[in-house]
Every structure is written in C-alpha cells, then in structure tokens.
A = this chain, B = another copy of it.
Amino acid sequence: MSTSTFGRMFSVANFGESHGPAIGCLIDGCPPGMELSEADIQPDLDRRKPGTSRHVTQRREADLVEILSGVYEGRTTGTPIALLIRNQDQRSRDYEDLVDTFRPGHADYTYWRKYGLRDPRGGGRSSARLTAPMVAAGAVARKWLRLQFGTTIRGHLQQLGDIDIPFDDWQEVGNNVFFAPNRAVVTRLEEYMDALRKAGDSCGARVRVCAQSVPAGLGAPLAAKLDADIAGAMMGINAVKGVEIGSGFGVVTQRGSEHGDEMTPQGFLSNHAGGVLGGISTGQDIEVSIALKPTSSIRLPRRTVDRKLQAVTVTTEGRHDPCVGIRATPIAEAMLALVLMDHALLHRAQNADVRLDVPALAARAP
C-alpha cells in the first residue's frame, strides 16, 4: 500500500529526487520468460530526456538505465525488476535561493506543510524528472502488451498554448521535437516557443494518447474501473489538470442517440466511449486526452511568501521547460501502458477460464 507504487498486479514503485544520487523504480509482477535488456527501455527514455532541443530544459542527463535484478540470461525471471538511473547534472546551487521560498504553482509549500521539511534541489521529489522511471517501466509493459496482444500505444501533442495542432499523420510525430503529428505546424510551434521563452513566460498544452489492439474485457465494474485507473494515472502526471476519455467534455452537449456507439456484425460504428464501457474495455481504441498546465518556473517576477510567511518576490532562472507538455507525450504513453498491463494481469487472474464461442467485435466496422 506504498503511496509511491502504481498498479496492483504489475506494480511499479518509484523512488528518487531530482538532485539526489539516483532515481529509479521497482517493477513487480512481470511475467517470466520475456526477452528484456536495457536496449528495450533506453529508446523510450531517450524520447523523454531533457536537453534535446532549445525548447526544453537544458539540463544534461544521459538517463542511462541499469537493470539490477529480475533478468537472467536476457529473459525476465518473474522476480522484481529494479531499474536504476543515476543523476548526473546536479547543479544544486541553482536552488539555494529557493530553500526558504515557496514558488507559486510549485509543490514547495505543500511538501513543507506535509512533511515539515523538503528537499529544495530542483523540486526534489516533485520534479517531473521522476517521470523517467515511469517511462522506463512503461517500456517493459509496452513490450509485453505488444507481444501478447499486438497492442500499440502512441501519443502526440494536440494543442500548444493557443495553437491547435490538427492530426495529420502518426509518422510525423517522431520527426519533430514537439511530438506534433503534423509537419505543417512545426515552424509555427517553434516561433511560438521562441517568443514565449523571450518573454520569460510559459504555456500549457494538450496531449492525446491512444492504445490500439487492446483486448475486450480489461477492467472491473467498480473501484478498479479501467477508465478510473487511466484517469488516476494521467492526473498523476506532473502538471496535468484535466483528463478526458473518448468524447470527454464533449459529451455534455451530446444526445444519447449520438453518443452511444452502435454495433454491427462488422464492428463498432463509432468510438465516443473511447474504448471503455462500464469500466471495462470494449476492444476499441482507448482514447485519452490530457491538459497540462503552463510551467510554474518562469523568469517573470511573482509574489509569494517565505517560511515565515513573509512577503517576497521570486523569479526562477534555473533550467526549465517553458512548456512541460512538450515532453509529456512519452510519459502519457507509458502511464497508459502501465494501466493496461496491470489490468491484463488482473483480468486473467480471475477470468483465465472464460471461453466464448464467438469472436470479439471488430474495433471499427470497415
């Protein structure tokens, strides 16, 4: 019941601080016999890592992962997989001024109220750096899901501040630093970010993540609903303030005659549900959208208080992402992978003997 552990059957316990010796995680419940090495994990970490363009934080971290346990002769053994990432670029002096000051929009004040003390270096444990172990664990889940069900999990930037990014092509996502699925908009995004950085300000973003080839039947009727777990996992990503599944907030103005996805022998006719009905997967694509708030660390001066609740002004220099949403795509993908994997194992614990004599409905009618 560790409050730092995600998942029930495929559990991931996260540890570390932004500027401590190391960060990492402990994966438990991974099925045995799967080929696994650092090479399966590193590419996802590389997609998330800082310093890859002028539009994200300039902190230099190789984010090299080491597998400490749970793998023998290149295969998972079924025992816990410990993943270790040593921190390298620990410029703690950047944060000395912040020991006594609570930055607006940051967790400085809440950690202090909760624990009576806090590690101020780079936000300590509240840093988005702690999403790296989740990405690493997600890579393991993603591989198993792909081998087991052919599941693919992909995400992209949907909106950057005021700029809407129309979906064009999944192939484009890897061709730009924004994870934008549309080549035409990239220059505009770069100009937008350059202006923002110059202004010393930051902006929000919206990210979409989608899982295909997810088997029907994952989830549970109550409490451990698949969509509830997805929502929890997404809202738990740093800076996320909103989560939608399927039509999301669009459902408010929909009619029942529009929303309910009709079925035919050839498959579902629409996917307003986003792949989940009654907390259980339908076999359609799992469709999730999240809103990320603008980075709280900005150069513009802000009013706040110190530990004696005296008024002070704070400006944050350091090295920060002007839009945390830019690097959020691989994180959201990883979190979705973790939830799906967890539910795949939970499902077969209870229902391994269920046999139906008719095939699953196609995700979409041709």
Interface size class of A (residues with CB under 8 A): 35 or more
- What are the nearest 4 A-B pairs in CB distance? A107-B278, A105-B260, A232-B232, A231-B235
Q: Is the CB of A32 within 8 A of B117?
A: yes
A277 at the B interface (CB under 8 A): yes
Picked from B113, B243, B260, the residue with its CB within 8 Å of the CB of A217 is: B113
Q: Is the CB of A262 within 8 A of B311?
A: no
**In the complex where A106-B277, A256-B105, A354-B115 touch, is A236 in contact with B241 (Cβ < 8 A)?**
no
Q: Is the CB of A119 within 8 A of B77?
A: yes
A32 and B117 alpha carbons, distance in the complex (Å): 8
Q: Mark A3-23, 1 if CB is under 8 A from B, else 0.
A: 111101101011111001111
A329 at the B interface (CB under 8 A): no
Picked from B114, B203, B265, the residue with its CB within 8 Å of the CB of A78 is: B114
Q: Is the CB of B345 within 8 A of A216?
A: no
Q: Mark A209-223, 1 if CB is under 8 A from B, else 0.
A: 000000011111111
A273 to chain B, nearest CB (A): 7
Q: Mark A297-315, 1 if CB is under 8 A from B, else 0.
A: 1101011110111110000
Picked from B72, B206, B308, the residue with its CB within 8 Å of the CB of A117 is: B72
Q: Is the CB of B161 within 8 A of A113?
A: no
Q: Which residues of B are found within 8 Å of A109, using beta-carbon distances?
A: 216, 263, 277, 282, 361
A33 at the B interface (CB under 8 A): yes
Q: Is the CB of B79 within 8 A of A17?
A: yes
Q: Which residues of B are found within 8 Å of A9, using beta-carbon distances?
A: 1, 9, 346, 349-350
Q: Is the CB of B235 within 8 A of A105?
A: no
Q: Is the CB of A242 within 8 A of B244?
A: yes
**Which residue in chain B gives the minimum CB-CB distance to A103?**
B260
- Mark out the residues of chain A between 101 and 139 whose CB falls within 8 Å of any chain B CB in the assembled complex: 102-107, 109-119, 121, 124-126, 130
Q: Is the CB of B280 within 8 A of A113?
A: yes
